[in-house]
Amino acid sequence: MPSSPLRVAVVCSSNQNRSMEAHNILSKRGFSVRSFGTGTHVKLPGPAPDRPNVYDFKTTYDQMYSDLLRKDKELYTQNGILHMLDRNKRIKPRPERFQNCKDLFDLILTCEERVYDQVVEDLNSREQETCQPVHVINVDIQDNHEEATLGAFLICELCQSSTQRTWKTRSTSCCRSSRRRVAEPSCTPSASTDAPMAPLTRVCCRSAAGGQWHPDQLYI
């Protein structure tokens, strides 16, 4: 259990698979964690790629479970969706949209670059109130059950190696996970830690050919 828990948010698109797997693991490790999606609707796989099941964020996990159970119990049991929803409803009642949450976090972890951009865009659009810094890190995770589990353990390791004191710096990193190999987090300093902290500090490091890291930095 962390001695000084970070206020952590994990964000994917629909708050169903990747963010909820990480939410589950982090909460069991004693972290103060919430999870979110950034999409306009919640989407779950349907009977065909062009026929997803679409729900409003106000729909509970239990209602989704009952709906899919009624539609095709065999299909949604076989592809693991019912099992996933059963886990989700044990964690919290319904999915949540990040753009509708105004709570403060020390660390926000996103599960794909598109979601990362949406989170940063939303944070930039908010009116400054506390001038408290927040660190945003993207961990690219494919949206399937196996990769969600691997990505969740990577996120957990990242959080366990950090404390609130550790993250009060001006550097973060962008990590990628793969099925056979999990990349170690790498941080690029963006400025002297003695300098005053900005309301939002973002440094995303993307791995490039030759093993070099290219920081993308934003201060507001």
Q: Is the pLDDT of residue 139 over 70?
A: yes
Average pLDDT of the residues in 10-19: 98
The whole-number pLDDT of residue 212 equals 29
Cβ-contact 143, 17 below 8 angstroms: yes
Cα torsion at 141, 136, 16, 114 (round to 10°)?
-60
Q: Which of 42-51, 66-75, 126-135, 211-220 has the lowest mean pLDDT?
A: 211-220
Q: Is the pLDDT of residue 90 over 90?
A: yes
Q: Which amino acid is at 206?
A: R
pTM as predicted: 0.76
